[in-house]
A and B are shown apart, each in its own frame.
Chain A
C-alpha cells in the first residue's frame, strides 16, 4: 500500500508565532518513521495536528488516500490514530484492564441493564498484552504500582484495543531504564510487522538508527527533509537539525575577560547534576548547551540554592561559599533569571515597580519600611534602560508581552548588582525583535559592567552567536568545552546528542 497518512503544506501559528510553516509528512503502514528536530522545531505541534488536537491554518491531511478534517482527538481516534504522550494519561488508581478499556469497556446484558462484563474485559486485556509479548503483566493490578515501562505497555495495549493503525510515540524512552527500552523496541518492531505505522519522536540518534525506517527533520517549524535511515548518517542528520545560518541577530560586543568570579568544583546533586566543574570569568559569556533534561537548569538551581548541593564546592571570587537558599546566593552576588518566567521569574499580579524591587526589597527599605520613591525610581530606571514597553511602574507585569516581561526579570536581578548572572533560556517565547534587544543587553552587561554570565539555551545559534566559551551538558555531566573559534553547530550538536562524545 502506498501510504497511511499524508500531510501536505501544513501551516500553524499560535498568537503570531509560526510553529509550522509548510510541513510535508508521510507515514506508510508497517513503517517506523522518526521525527527529529531541536526543542521548538515544531515536532509537538506536528503530532498534535495529526492527533486532532490542533487544526492546521493551511494545508491538507490525507488518511489512506482520502482528504480528512480532524476537529478533535476523537475524530483521529475513530480513524485509528492514537498518541502516547510523554506524560502518560493513565488513571493510577484503576487496574491495568480498566485503563486499557477506558471508555469502551465490554458490556453484557443483565435483564434490562447493560453492565460491565468484567470477565471479558480481563480476558481481552490479557490477550492484548500477550500479543505485545507482555503476558507477565497482571491485568488486575493498579496502574499506579507499575514501572514507567510497564505503564507504557498498558498505553500501547490501549491503543491496540482501539484498533489503532497509526501510533504516535512522543519521546517514549525519555524516562525508561535500559531493559525497558529494549522491550519497547521489541514491541515497536512487533507493531511494525503487523502493519501498524509508528511515528517515533526522539532526541536520541542512536534510537533512530536502531529502530526507524525513515526519518523526517524539522527546524524552526519548517520541513527540512526526509531520509531513508539506511542512506543517512548521524552527521548528516545533526547538520540538518541545527544547520542554520547565524545572522546579525547576535550583535556580540567584544569584552575584556577578567578574573575568575565563579568556580564550581565537582558540584553534585543527584540525579541531574553530577560532578560539574566550571569557571566563569568577569566579562565573559559562557554558553551552556544541552538537550532538555541534560541537567542545565538543575545545575543553575543548585548554584542558586533552590536545590542545594549534596557535595562539591562553590567558590565566589576564589573564596569557598555555602549556598543553602536563594537568599544566600543573592548575598554572594549571584543572580538567576529562570527559565519559566510566568511562575519562577515574576509575580504576574504585581506591578513592574513591585517586581523590580523584589530581589532587593531590604535595600529599598528604611527600617523595614519600603521607600516607594526609591522603588519607583528603580523601576523607571529599568524601564528606560532596557526599553520596557509599559505605561509606567504601576503596570501589572502579567499584561506585558513576553519580551518585556523578560526585561523586567533582567531588570529585577540587575537591581541586586550581581557579579554573576545565570540566565536560563533568555529568549524563549520572545518575538524576533525583542530577541535581538535581549541579546544586545546580555552582551552589554558582560562588556560594560563586567558581569560573568552563564547563558543556558536550547537554541544552538544563540549559544554559538553569543558565547565566548561553550560548555555542553549531557546526563548531568559536562561532556565538552569549546572555545568560540572552534565551536560549530556540528561539533556542539554532536556533543549534545551523541553518546560517543566525552563518554564517561
Chain B
C-alpha cells in the first residue's frame, strides 16, 4: 500500500499554494482584474462615492446571502427569501399605515414574522423530511401570495424622517446598511469558522447520517439557520422600504436567485459541506461591481445580464479546472 504517501504532511509551500489557489483566492484575483478593467473604461467607476453607493445597493442581497451560505453548506436551499422580504415589506406598510401601530413596534413585529416564516420552512423540512428545494419553492409562492392578498395592490408611503436612516443614511461615513452588512458578515464568518454551530453545519452538509450518529443536534441547528434566513429577509425588507420610501407586494422577487448566485460563485458547494462567508462576500461584490461598471460603460441592462451570466460560468469553470488539477488526478 502507498502508506508513505498517505502519512506525509503537506509542506509549507504546498500550504501557500492551497491558500492562493483556493476558491476564494482565485475569485479575489478575478475581482481585482475586473475592477482594474472597469476602472480603466470609466472615470466614474472607481470613485469612493460610486463604490459606497454600490455597497448600499448590495446590502439587501448581501444580508440574505449570509444565511443562504449556511443553508447551502448543509446541503439545503432557501428559495422563499424574496417572498419573505415581500411579505414583511407589505406587513410593515399595513401595520403602520393601515392599523396605525407605532413604527418602532411594527419593525419588531416584522422581524418576528420573518423568523416565523423561516421556522415554518424548517418545521416541514426537519419534522416531515420535505426536501428544502420543494418546501421553500412552495413557500416562495405561499408567502408572495400572502403579501399580495394583504396589500391589495396598494402601496404605503409617507414614513417619518427617522425611518429613512436605515436605507438612506450614513454611519461613520458608510451607508447604514453597508455598515450593518459588514458587521453581520463578520459575525457570520466567525460563527461558521469557530463555533460548534458552524462545525455542525459542515458536518450535516458532508454527511447528515454521520452527523446524526454522532449525536449532533441536526434538527435544532437546521431550524436555527432557516429562522435566521427569515430574520435576515425581514431585515432586508425594512432596509428596502426605507431606501425606496414605499412598500409594494412585488418587492424582493428574484432576490433568492441573486443571493444563491453570489453564494455559489463564492465557492460554496451546492451539494453541501464546503463554503465560506468570505467567498460569498467576494461573489457579491464581484456581481455588483460588474453590473455597475458595465452600466457606466454604456452597456444596456440586457447585455449586462448576459455578461454576468457568462462571467459566472467562466469563473466556475476556471475554478473547477484548477481545483481538479490540485486534486492531482
Contact = CB atoms under 8 A, between A and B. Distances in A.
Contacts of B7: 389-391, 395
A326 B214 contact: yes
Contacts of B299: none
Contacts of A390: 7
Given A326-B215, A345-B210, A350-B203, A392 B9 contact: yes
Contact of B195 (A16, A330, A359, A368): A368
B197 interface: yes
B217 interface: yes
Interface stretch (A57-65, A134-142, A336-344): A336-344
A370 B194 contact: yes
A365 to B, nearest CB: 5
Contact of A368 (B1, B196, B211): B196
B205 to A, nearest CB: 9
Contact of B200 (A325, A344, A361): A361
B9 A347 contact: no
A403 B267 CA distance: 33
B214 A358 contact: yes
Contacts of A327: 215-217
B14 interface: no
A35 B215 CA distance: 41
B223 to A, nearest CB: 14
Contacts of B215: 325-327, 329-330, 359, 416
B162 interface: no
Contacts of A336: 213
B209 interface: yes
A326 B203 contact: no
B214 A359 contact: yes
B199 interface: yes
A343 B1 contact: no
B6 A344 contact: no
B213 A344 contact: yes
Interface in B54-81: none
A400 B214 contact: no
A366 to B, nearest CB: 10
A370 B190 CA distance: 11
Interface string B191-209: 0001111011011001101
A365 B195 contact: yes
A391 B210 contact: no
A309 B279 CA distance: 44
Interface in B157-212: 194-197, 199-200, 202-203, 206-207, 209-212
Contacts of A170: none
B273 interface: yes
A370 B195 contact: yes
Interface string A102-135: 0000000000000000000000000000000000
A349 B273 contact: yes
A326 B219 CA distance: 12
A369 B195 contact: yes
A442 interface: no
Contacts of A306: 212-213
Nearest to A331: B215
A412 interface: yes
Nearest to A336: B213
B210 A370 contact: no
A343 B212 CA distance: 10
Contacts of A394: 9
Given A347-B206, A370-B199, A326 B9 contact: no
A346 interface: yes
Contacts of A346: 207, 210
A416 B207 CA distance: 20
Contacts of A391: 6-9
Contacts of B273: 349
Nearest to B5: A399
B4 to A, nearest CB: 10
Contacts of B217: 327
A16 B1 contact: yes
Contacts of A358: 203, 211, 214, 216
A389 B199 contact: no
A354 interface: yes
Contact of B196 (A350, A370, A399): A370
Interface in A58-83: none
A488 interface: no
Contacts of B210: 343-347
B3 interface: yes
A401 interface: yes
Given A327-B217, A361-B196, A350 B212 contact: no
Nearest to A350: B206
Contacts of B6: 389, 391, 399-401
A362 interface: yes
B211 A347 contact: yes
Nearest to B6: A399
A389 B2 CA distance: 12
B159 to A, nearest CB: 37
Interface in B217-241: 217
A348 B194 CA distance: 20
Contacts of B200: 361
A439 to B, nearest CB: 21
Contacts of B196: 361-362, 365, 368, 370
Contacts of B8: 391
Give the top 10 A-B pairs by smallest Cβ distance, nearest first. Answer: A330-B215, A326-B215, A391-B9, A358-B214, A344-B213, A327-B215, A391-B7, A347-B207, A349-B206, A361-B196
Given A365-B196, A394-B9, 13 more contacts: A304-B213, A306-B212, A326-B214, A327-B217, A329-B215, A345-B210, A347-B203, A347-B206, A348-B206, A350-B203, A358-B214, A359-B214, A362-B196
14 contacts: A327-B217, A343-B207, A346-B210, A349-B207, A350-B206, A354-B199, A358-B203, A358-B216, A365-B195, A368-B195, A370-B195, A370-B196, A391-B7, A395-B7
